[in-house]
Amino acid sequence: MSKQPMQNLKLSQLKFEIETCKRLLNFIADENVHLKNRLAEIVKDSFEIDMLGEMENYLSKFVAQDELINLLKNDIAKIEKRLWAETHGDGEIVKDIDPPLRLLQSNILKTEGLFLTLCFDFNNFLVAV
C-alpha cells in the first residue's frame, strides 16, 4: 500500500480531531457566558450583601475558565499551524502533531470536567440561597 493514502487518512483524522476540540471549547465558552449572565441577573434582581463573597468567588472562577479556554484555543492554533506546515512539506505528520494533539485533548477533557463541577457547584449554590 502506498504511503500517500495513509498519510492523507492521518491528515484527515487529525483535522477532524482538531475541529472536535474547537467545537467542545466553543461549547464550554458559550455555557460559561450563560453562567456569567445568570450571575448578573441574580445580582440585579435579588442581591443580598451576605452573598457578595460567594458571588465574587464564582465570577473569578468564570473568568479563570475563560482564560483557560483561551490558552487551549491558542494551543489549537499552534497545532493547526504545525499541521499546515507539515502538510506542505514531506515530513511525518503523526510524529510531530499527534503527541501535542493528545496532550491538548487531555487538557480539554480536564477543563470540561472542571467546568461541569463549576456548573454543578454554582447551581447548588443558587438552589440553596
> What single-letter amino acid sits at 115?
F
- pTM score above 0.75: yes
Q: What's the rounded Cα separation, in Å, for the pair 25 and 88?
A: 27
Q: Which three cell numbers stand for residue 88?
A: 506542505
Helix ranges (DSSP H) in the chain: 3-46, 52-87, 93-128
**Digitized pLDDT (tens) for each residue of the chain, 129 residues in all:** 456 777 778 888 999 999 999 999 999 999 999 999 999 998 888 767 888 899 999 999 999 999 999 999 999 999 998 888 766 665 556 677 888 999 999 999 999 999 999 999 999 998 987
Q: What's the rounded Cα separation, in Å, for the pair 77 and 74?
A: 5
